[in-house]
């Protein structure tokens, strides 16, 4: 939290395993009293009963302009780039799907937020590149040696 600015900030998280982000948001609120607005894909709002819960926790599917306004009001904004279109972390064969998206960089530039790098929790914990299934197999393959 020492790198978190007093004013607005864009928190970029890996959407494939957002638990780290959820815990960070809770910690920020608990220690500072600041809420963090979070973005999700619009498809999440089609799940019955989830819309009220998400809005209560400041989770929405804002436009770029709404994201800029959230930041200009001095708030924190969490964005998981790629969303459901790029939900699987890739290896060297990974191809970014740009389409017509400018993304979080455009929002940060327009809102004039300060750049401050923090450690990627995913990179800290994922030591074996590539498929999570391969990593699990390599981790637990010793179980089959005793059969």
Catalytic residue among 15, 42, 55, 144: 15
Pair 36, 74: CB distance under 8 Å: no
What the block records as the tokens of 10 is 């864009």
Half-sphere exposure of 102 (CA within 13 A, CB side): 10
Query: 15 catalytic, yes or no?
Result: yes
Distance CA 27, CA 20 (A): 11
Q: Give catalytic residues, as residue numbers.
A: 15
């Amino acid at each position: 939290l020492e790198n978190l600015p007093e004013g607005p900030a864009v928190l970029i998280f890996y959407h494939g395993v957002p638990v780290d982000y959820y815990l960070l948001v809770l910690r920020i609120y608990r220690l500072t009293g600041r809420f963090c607005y979070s973005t999700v894909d619009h498809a999440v709002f089609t799940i019955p009963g989830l819309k009220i819960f998400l809005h209560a926790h400041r989770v929405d599917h804002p436009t770029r302009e709404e994201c800029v306004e959230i930041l200009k009001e001095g708030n924190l904004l969490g964005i998981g780039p790629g969303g459901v279109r790029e939900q699987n972390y890739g290896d060297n064969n990974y191809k970014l799907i740009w389409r017509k998206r400018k993304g979080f960089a455009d929002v940060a530039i327009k809102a004039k937020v300060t750049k401050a790098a923090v450690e990627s929790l995913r990179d800290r914990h994922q030591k074996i590149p590539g498929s999570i299934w391969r990593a699990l197999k390599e981790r637990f393959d010793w179980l089959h040696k005793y059969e």
